Structure 1
Amino acid sequence: MLFKKLSECQITDIITAWNRGFEGYFVKLEMSAELFFARLVNEGLSMNLSIVAFDGDKPVAIVLNGVRLIDGKKTAWNGGTGVASEYRGKGVSKLLMEETLRIYAEEGVEVATLEAIKENERAIRLYQRYGYEIVDSLVHLNGSEEFESVLAASIWVKSIRPEQLATLSFYKENVPWQCQWQSVRNGEAQIFYGTGNDPLGYCLFKRIWNEHGKVEKVVIYQLELFSEVNSDLLKIIFASICGGAEKTVNFMTVNASISSPIIAYLMSHGFNKMTEQVQMVKFL
């Protein structure tokens, strides 16, 4: 088995390795070249740290990797490990893990992270054999709400760029990779303040617009509140992040901790669980 960096591969081989590696996966992950490379850029994945495995001249497996400084530690994220169906169960995944951990050591990575679909027990066992531990359960929720314009004299909202979140003392930096501001540069952020200019919380999100210029969907990457969750506050926040649209808007949370009181509240108010993943960490 020969490993090549993505930067050393032909585009067609990279896309073949990805699409064949995720055939029959729990969720549909097939991508065109345009979508694949847009994801690399948007999520800060590295062409030099990601690898494709070849059997002869045939691309048969892939691992995507990115590295960032999180809470002062050099942190890596495995953004996808896929093996072509006829090569599964033949030790290729172990070779991929060993090569990936070798790359991490070479790069001076201190913390390795990844997420795995909860039902993917084989992959979870593999990661555990290589020292990863489950630290949290993460969910994607989907739901819709109809909001009227909400006025609250005691609460005001400040809109900022996602990049500005990193300058705030209360910003939560150590969250799943796709929920960090660096992965949502083309999104939006809002801070919510109460009386006395005390911060009540913040939200990192992205609005999806339809062809009529209306907000159709809002994807929530982080929603942090510094006080008890209550219906009135959430109504104000949801109305604000959907732009005060006076119609039904679809909302989706991405990789939110299932232990979050906000998630518990949303699930009790009709939001549905789409996917559940385990978050795994290995300290090098």
Structure 2
Amino acid sequence: MEIKTVSQCTLEDVLKAWNKGFEGYFVQITMDEEMFLNRLVGEGLSPKLSLVAFDGNEPVGIVLNGVRHLNGRKTSWNGGTGISSDYRGTGISRALMEETLAVYARESVEIATLEAITGNSKAIALYEKYGYRIANRLLFLSGEFKTKVTEPIQMQIETLHPEQLSNLSFYQQEVPWQCSWHSNKQGQAKVFYNLENEAVGYMLYRSQWAKDGQLERLVLYQLEVLGQGSVDYIPYFLDSITNQPVKIATVNFLASNPVTNYLLENGLEVTTEQVQMKKIMNE
């Protein structure tokens, strides 16, 4: 077996490793060239830090990696580890994990993060073997939000570019990788203030449009209610985007976030459950 970086491989081999590696997986994540390249760029994944395992000339395993500074600490993310079905259980996942941790060490990573489907007990056990620990329970939700705005609330709304969120003292930096502003530079952000100019909440989201030009779905990456706010403000937050019925999907919302429970009580359902895992390097 030989391990190369993605930057040393052809795009054809990398795609083959990815698509074969996730055959029969819990969630269908087959990608074509455009989807794969968009994901690399959009989510800050590094071809020089990502790895492909070969058996001769055959790509049989892959792990995608990215590194960022979050809250002043160098943080990595494993954006997907896949092994071809014929090679599962042969030690390739362990070899890729060991080489990945070596990459993190060379890059002076302080915190290593990843997510795993809750039902994927083998993967979770592997990560725990290499020092990862479950930090959070994460939920993907989907459905039509059923609560309507009844009485108007006086609220100030500021629309921002996603990267501007990082300059706000109340913005939460430590969120799952795909939910940060870094991964959603093409998205939209809103901050909500009461009449005393106190921030009561903010959203990071993307709008998806139908062919007829109508808003088809909102994808929420962050929806936070702050100190002077209340989950009862959420209908007003969403109404600032549209007052028409719209489907909503959330990405990796913390199960412990009161917002998550509020959405579940108002029309959304759990579609996927994951665990967020973290490893403190050099611990």
Structures share fold, TM-score greater than 0.5:
yes
* Alignment partner, residue 76 of structure 1: 76
Q: Which residue identity lines up with residue 278 of structure 1 in the other structure? A: V
Superposed CA deviations along residues 90-109 of structure 1, whole A, max 9, x for unmatched, are 11110010000000001111
Structure-2 residue corresponding to 1:273: 270
Which residue of structure 1 aligns with residue 202 of structure 2? 202
SS at match of 2:219: strand
* Alignment pair present for 1:27 and 2:27: yes
**Counterpart contact for 2:138–2:274, Cα < 8 Å:** yes
Give the paired residue count. 280
| Residue type at the aligned position of 2:205 | F
1:163 and 2:143 correspond: no
Distance 2:167 2:80 in 1: 30
TM superposition shift of 1:214: 1.4
Given residue 135 of structure 1, which amino acid in structure 2 is its aligned partner?
A
The equivalent of 1:193 in structure 2 is 193
In 1: Cα distance, 2:136 partner to 2:182 partner: 21
The match for 1:264 among 253, 258, 261 is 261
Cα displacement string for residues 163-200 of structure 1 (whole angstroms, at most 9, x for unaligned residues): 10010011000100000000000000000000211100
* Unmatched 5+ stretches in structure 2: none
Give, in whole Å, the separation in 2 of the partners of 1:152 and 1:40.
Answer: 42
Determine the C-alpha separation between the residues in 1 that align with 2:210 and 2:147. 18
How far the C-alpha of 1:268 sits from its partner, in A, is 1.8
Task: Report SS of the residue matched to 1:195.
Answer: coil
SS at match of 2:251: strand
Contact kept? 1:187, 1:204, Cα under 8 Å: yes
CA RMSD of aligned residues (A): 1.4
1:27-72 deviations in whole A, cap 9, x for unaligned?
Answer: 0011101101110000000010001000011000000000000111
2:16 is the alignment partner of 1:16:
yes
1:154 positional shift: 2.1
Q: 1:150 to 1:250 in 2, by over 3 A?
A: same
Q: Tell me the TM-score normalised to structure 1 length.
A: 0.96
1:230 CA drift (Å): 3.5
* Rounded Cα–Cα distance in structure 2 between residues aligned with 1:26 and 1:71: 32
| Contact 2:225 2:231 (C-alpha < 8 Å) held by counterparts | no
Structure 2 residue identity aligned to 1:10:
T
Matches within 5 A, 1:146-157: 152-157=152-157
Task: Return the offset for 1:149.
Answer: 7.4
Q: Matched residues in 2 for 1:24 and 1:113: separation?
A: 24
Read off the aligned partner of 1:230 and give its amino acid letter: V
Equivalent residue, structure 2, for 1:244: 242
Residues 1:147 and 1:65: Cα distance change in structure 2 (over 3 Å): same
- C-alpha deviation, 1:245, in angstroms: 4.0
CA distance in 2, matches of 1:145, 1:100: 41
Residue pair 2:200, 2:226 contacting (<8 A) in 1 also: yes
- The CA deviation at 1:146 is 5.8
CA distance in 2 between partners of 1:237 and 1:251 (Å)? 13
| Aligned-residue offset at 1:151 | 7.3
Residues 1:230 and 2:227 aligned together: no
Once the two structures are superposed, the pairs formed by residues 215-226 of structure 1 within 5 Å of their partners are 215-226=215-226
Percent of residue pairs bearing the same amino acid type: 47
Q: TM-score, normalised by structure 2?
A: 0.96
Matched, 1:138 2:130: no
